[in-house]
């Protein structure tokens, strides 16, 4: 996925959240990750985009592109996309 495709994915996720969440919510967030080949070296880089929507504005952000480990890079070349496994954001509710 390119930066543009990844941004569009994050934007769509934020829009979907805005449509599906109850009234009274002030912000909706969309996150999307991607990988692409870095032309000068041919190495894969992983990156992510975030879109935050409010009733009045849209804000975007991205994180530094990094090389995945060799094992993950091989898997990503094969699958051509990242898989996201959600985790409970409340550590007190996590089980060891």
**Quick check: 35 and 1 in contact, CB under 8 A?**
yes
Task: Tell me, yes or no, if the pTM score tops 0.75.
Answer: no
Q: Is the pLDDT of residue 83 over 70?
A: no
Three-state DSSP class for residue 82? coil
CA pair distance 35, 58, nearest whole angstrom: 24
Q: State the residue for tokens 């070349």.
A: 77
pLDDT in tens, 4-63: 999 999 999 999 999 998 788 999 999 999 888 877 777 888 899 999 999 899 999 998
């Amino acid at each position: 996925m390119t930066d543009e495709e990844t941004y569009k994915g994050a934007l769509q996720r934020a829009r979907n959240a805005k449509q599906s969440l109850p009234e009274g919510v002030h912000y909706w967030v969309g996150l999307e990750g991607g990988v692409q080949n870095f032309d000068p070296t041919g190495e894969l880089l992983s990156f992510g985009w975030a879109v935050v929507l409010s009733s009045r504005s849209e804000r975007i952000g991205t994180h530094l592109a990094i090389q995945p480990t060799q094992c993950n890079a091989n898997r990503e070349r094969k699958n051509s996309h990242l898989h996201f496994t959600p985790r409970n954001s409340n550590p007190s509710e996590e089980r060891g």
